A = this chain, B = another copy of it.
Amino acid sequence: MAKKTSLKRSTHGMINIDPLQRGGILTPKAREALAEWGDGYSICDFCPGKLEEIKKPPIHNFVYDDLPTFLGVDHARVTNGARESIFAVMHALSKKDGCVVMDGNAHYTSLVSAERAGLSISQVPVSDRPEYKIDPEGYADILEKKQNSGEKVVLAVLTYPDGNYGNIVDAKKVSTICHEYEVPLLLNCAYSVGRMPVSAKDLGVDFIAGSGHKSMAACGPVGVLGISEQYHDLTLKRSAYNKNKEIELLGCTARGATIMTLIASFPTVVARVAEWDHEVKKARWFSKAMGDLGMHQMGDNPHNHDLMFFETPVLYEISKHAKKGRFFLYKELKKRKIHGIKSGLTKYFKLSTYGLSDDDLRYVINAFDDIIATTV
């Protein structure tokens, strides 16, 4: 048996600026749903044989009506996470000697998904510091080469935004290019769906992967998958052994409280997405305030997302002489009840301003100011 270790979370009550966690904080309704549906397989009380068909609780409505409308797609499913959505699509589309083209800023899970699906990977190069940009034309370059060499590109992936710099690429341009080469495009929206407006139809993309626990105020792991009509039959193919069950979903996916928190938070999530402009404004204010303290935001600038990457030479200099060395920043922030920057980082780090109040953001800026001014 395990040693007696605490099952308490030590970061409760702190200001959390971890990009991974800002969009996944439960709403009060989701907290209620979590308690209500916590027991294993509770959602299956009245299951007619398929997760999406459950009407009580209202999973059917959510999957067939609310979610497709929200994502701007023809069909939607709830999965165990964005990576599971991505893998399901890649696996369904996979061919012998097939290949995926993805942005150079892609999340590791896109690479591992392709690897698991037996697909080779070509990446669109990222521009140099400080912007780390993906040029949509980079997709054309690779797809042209692949076409000429006869390689089978089964899917293109664009990370929207990426998880390092929070850069938002012109997805419409990328989808237009991909379709010229008859390659479907999947948008990895783990950091966008649930934070900012995203419509597959408006952007012309064929698939959308989103994350419930990352950006839709849900208890994880849970994700969403949007699919265009054209790829419905291929992606959601039914089992030859059980006509009710979709092969790539292994029948049922988020068969528990995770889907119920997603549903419970959904009205709040729809409402908060409409406030996205305000989130961008806050992020830009924060970026400028950090710049004034000698910490420079990389990536798109002005920035278009709450996830931001900063180079912080001023903190790095301090770390060289600080008593705690490179751990000084983590300790100083912890002292001030701020969490979310990995322990040991001082040269650069990423953070998120998502959903934080102006007061909290000012408090964080003042904390950095104070740390820079007082740490010896």
Q: How far is the CB of A68 from chain B (nearest CB, A)?
A: 12
Interface string of A1-21 (1 = CB under 8 A from B): 111011111111000001011
Contact of A251 among B18, B61, B108, B239 (CB under 8 A): B108
Chain B residues whose CB sits within 8 angstroms of the CB of A224 once the complex forms: none
Q: A213 vs B258: C-alpha distance in the bound complex, in angstroms?
A: 12
Question: B35 to A250, Cβ gap below 8 A?
Answer: no
Question: B251 to A220, Cβ gap below 8 A?
Answer: no
Query: Is A80 in the interface zone, CB < 8 Å from B?
Result: yes
Besides A109-B251, A112-B247, 16 other A-B contacts (C-beta < 8 A): A3-B61, A5-B57, A7-B32, A21-B39, A26-B40, A30-B38, A34-B35, A40-B219, A81-B255, A83-B251, A84-B250, A109-B250, A219-B256, A220-B257, A221-B255, A221-B258
Query: Is A345 in the interface zone, CB < 8 Å from B?
Result: no
Question: B254 to A221, Cβ gap below 8 A?
Answer: yes
Question: B66 to A41, Cβ gap below 8 A?
Answer: no
If A87-B250, A241-B112 touch, whether A260 touches B7 (CB-CB below 8 Å) is yes
Question: B5 to A25, Cβ gap below 8 A?
Answer: no
If A112-B250, A214-B40, A245-B108 touch, whether A56 touches B10 (CB-CB below 8 Å) is yes
Query: Is A291 in the interface zone, CB < 8 Å from B?
Result: no
Name the interface size band of chain A. Answer: 35 or more
Chain B residues whose CB sits within 8 angstroms of the CB of A272 once the complex forms: none
Interface string of A191-231 (1 = CB under 8 A from B): 00000000000000000000111101111111000000000
Contact of A58 among B5, B81, B260 (CB under 8 A): B5
**Chain B residue at smallest Cβ distance from A121:** B241
Interface string of A236-257 (1 = CB under 8 A from B): 0001111001011011011111
**Chain B residue at smallest Cβ distance from A83:** B250
Query: Is A351 in the interface zone, CB < 8 Å from B?
Result: no
Question: A241 to B39, Cβ gap below 8 A?
Answer: no
Query: Is A37 in the interface zone, CB < 8 Å from B?
Result: yes
Question: A8 to B31, Cβ gap below 8 A?
Answer: no
Question: A20 to B44, Cβ gap below 8 A?
Answer: yes
Question: A267 to B1, Cβ gap below 8 A?
Answer: yes
Query: Is A163 in the interface zone, CB < 8 Å from B?
Result: no
Question: A11 to B45, Cβ gap below 8 A?
Answer: yes
Q: A66 vs B9: C-alpha distance in the bound complex, in angstroms?
A: 21
**Chain B residue at smallest Cβ distance from A11:** B45
Chain B residues whose CB sits within 8 angstroms of the CB of A58 once the complex forms: 2-3, 5, 7
Question: A115 to B38, Cβ gap below 8 A?
Answer: no
Chain B residues whose CB sits within 8 angstroms of the CB of A239 once the complex forms: 108, 111-112, 115
Q: A78 vs B359: C-alpha distance in the bound complex, in angstroms?
A: 40
Question: B26 to A256, Cβ gap below 8 A?
Answer: no
